[in-house]
Amino acid sequence: MRTRFAPSPTGFMHIGNLRTAIFEYVLAKKYQGDFILRIEDTDQARKVEGAVEFIYKTLELCGFQIDEGPLNPQKYGPYIQSERLDLYKKYALELVEKGKAYYCFCTEEELENMRQKCALRNKPFAYDGRCSKLSAEKIQENLAKGIPYVIRQKMPKTGYTVVNDVIYGEIKIDNSILDDQILLKSDGFPTYNFANVIDDHLMAITHVIRGKEYLDQTAKYNLLYEAFEWEKPTYIHVAMVLGEDGTKLSKRNGDASFMDLYEEGYLPEAIVNYLSLLGWSPANNVEVFSLAELIANFDEKRISKSSSQYDVKKLQWFNHQYIQKMSDEEYLTWVKKYFTHDCEKPAEWVDKLLLIYKKQLEYGAQINDLTREFLEEKYEPNAECLEFMKSDPIIPQVVACFKEEIANIDWTVTNLNQAINNVKEKVGVKGKLLYMPIRIATSGIMHGPELADTIYLIGEDKVKERLNK
């Protein structure tokens, strides 16, 4: 079992690409196989500086062990496509000799005329194959003159090509829809489809996981394998991950990348856990699991045929579960990386503040919004708070009683809890009518963490000042 993750260094890895990498990694590891990283940088114009390093960083943070790749090459290297150009040209010329490909000398002007004719007929552009009819003499003449060329795959125009897929079974692709695709561009770089086939074969890749939207393209891959008389890999096509707006995820559209999420305070293990469930489900219906548990329970046949939709609220739920698993010490070390408020309070006070929000926190950067009320001097209950404070005649009694209870106590969480319980007994209230008036009167908000902890952190002087108002 050998799988490969082959991203393009055209930007940070968005979550749809990472979902594919997760499936490829756990499939290899389930069968004690190898996970290979290959960098597909044939699109040099869109290459982004530093993107390769981010790919490595992403996989490392996710806990993936790369068995072979640019940083740990084995016998199948090099693992960066721009370093394999001689190989692609060799195999492209071999196809020309076999009559499975041909030189195309068409200019951009000629191709534009073809596009316009297709547009007038409301048909997608397809190359008309005119250069496949050139004589051997004309081809040699053009080559001798140094006329620029590409090499195109010669497609059959009748019948169909069969694609066998683990998820979708046997798919028949009508050959008439297959364009004579370019294999080698005029600059010597291969196209994505051609390089994939050459590299997957030479790197002994046994299983290829790719998006369902490329099913038709797989017919072209199979025709290349057959032309070379090579064994085809096992294909697993997976349905798309859609964005929250229902459209395809895309780095160009600014959809979230893994590093965006990581820098916002989403834990890598939570991201991997959540993404693995977009288009796949375990037989035991367990939702929260480690990478090791995912590998042990992964069944590629349980990958769904239906598209799944990215939901940041669901991701936040997963992240919250992982935050709760942290010890208080681990949590404080982690969350302080995201706590950006200027705070002159003692370290013990800050730790207490961060800890009272542990049960509420969904992602790291959220800690700044949650704690802002403690660090700003303003006390401005909103209209909803003020309306609630007038909603029942017993509310002023609750506030007045609490003010009396804390008048002469030592300022500790234990004593504040006792004061709240005393109000409960003396005024005869509980639940919403007990806690909410005290919270609004002391903090200015309706909801928050443990009430006694909140009051303690606001501080004795500030609380009494607010109650006096």
Q: DSSP letter at 91?
A: H
Tokens of 86: 């001689």
- Packing angle, helices 347-356 and 451-458, rounded to 10: 150
What value, to the nearest 5°, has the Cα angle with vertex 170 and ends 165 and 175? 105
| Closest residue by Cα to residue 309 from 224, 379, 241 | 241
Question: Which of 251, 305, 352, 464 is labelled catalytic?
Answer: 251
Report yes or no: 149 and 125 within 8 Å, Cβ to Cβ.
no
Burial class (CB in 10 A: 0-12, 13-18, 19+), 444: middle
- CA 204 from centre of chain: 27
Phi, psi of 324 (to 5 degrees): -65, -25
Tokens of 218: 């797989």
Rounded CA-CA distance 304/96 in Å is 40
Which is it for strands 207-211 and 182-184: parallel, antiparallel or unpaired?
unpaired
Tokens of 214: 């490329």
Each as own residue / partner, the long-range contacts of residues 440-447 (CB below 8 Å, 24 or more positions apart, any chain) are 440/381, 440/385, 440/388, 440/389, 441/389, 441/399, 441/402, 441/466, 441/467, 442/466, 442/467, 443/373, 444/373, 444/379, 444/380, 444/381, 444/385, 445/373, 445/381, 445/385, 446/384, 446/385, 446/388
Mark whether 251 is an active-site residue.
yes
Q: Kindly give, in sequence order, each residue whose CB lies less than 8 Å from that of residue 233, ignoring residues fewer than 6 positions away.
A: 200, 205, 206, 207, 208
Rounded CA-CA distance 158/176 in Å is 6
Tokens of 142: 């053009």
Which residues carry out catalysis? 251
